[in-house]
Structure 1
Amino acid sequence: MNEIKCKICSKLLVGRNDKLFCSVKCKNYYHVNLRKVTDKEVKELDTILHRNRSILLEVLGKRKGQITVERVVLEKKRFSFKYHTHLYVNSKGKTYYYVYDFAWMEFSNDAILIIRKEK
């Protein structure tokens, strides 16, 4: 018979065969530490995504629709092109990168099209 041990303290588990922890204390310890690690990683990514969104909002301003700017404009503001929330490929094969409700598409001549998605 397989002996199953607690993920935290390695005590032999008694009871159900799908049990992972020997006590509520070990279970809580595991989940609290998992959350700490996850929160740190997520916070760093979320900061970058929010900065990217703020930059796109600043460049687009109060205009409705879209604007085309040079790539340098976004780079000077420390826009991180590799971070986005999702992407969309249209029927012509063009890729739109999204940061929440903003999208950008890169052209071959270093021009960037910025679009704000309507609600």
Structure 2
Amino acid sequence: MEIEKPETKKCLHCAKPITGRLDKKYCNDYCRNSYNNQTKRAGDKQIQEVNSIIRKNRRILKTLCPAGKATVSKELLDSMEYNYRFFSGIYRSSAPSKLVYFICYDYAFSPLNEEGKNMALIVEKEDHFNDFFENPWSA
């Protein structure tokens, strides 16, 4: 009667044989860290891409608004490749203006239509923006 040898486990990162505990997954700390970093990077790729776009949008708003408040044309935002689909929050101001601000961290813009021209009011984020909670289920 022949005794079967248990199958040798291999490191999840480098595929070298593992010795030691039965539940061990990596041959050393380097492989464990590398494997976990690689796995995390793959899972967070979309988050990193979206965050990168929002940071770029913020840089554009900050560049165009050195004094804390500015009005610029939509064409200028377009030429700087501002991406309107991505922002970190929304603030709706109360009457009388009822402007909607699209926030990118600490800067925001509100679309305006002045004399038939598409414009954007850019502001440095104001404290009261944080106090407002936008509930998407409330009418």
Which bin holds the TM-score, normalised by the shorter protein?
0.5 to 0.7
2:64 counterpart of 1:56: no
Cross-structure match for 1:91:
94
Aligned-residue CA RMSD in angstroms? 2.7
Cross-structure match for 1:80:
83
- Long gaps (5+) in structure 1: 1-22
Q: What aligned pairs does 1:1-119 form with structure 2 within 5 A after superposition? A: 25=25, 32=36, 35-61=40-66, 63=67, 65-92=68-95, 93-108=98-113, 109-118=117-126
Question: Cα offset for 1:24?
Answer: 7.4
Q: Which deviations, in whole Å up to 9, do the C-alpha atoms of 1:35-87 show, x marking residues without a partner? A: 333321111111111111111111112x1x31101000111001111110000
Runs of 4+ in 1 over 4 A off after TM superposition: none
Residues 103 and 125 of structure 2 are in contact (CA less than 8 Å); yes or no, is this contact kept in structure 1? no
User: Could you tell me the TM-score, scaled by structure 2's length?
Assistant: 0.57
Identical-pair percentage? 26
Q: What number of residue pairs does the alignment pair up? A: 94
Larger radius of gyration: 2
Cross-structure match for 1:17:
none
Indicate the SS of the match to 2:53: helix
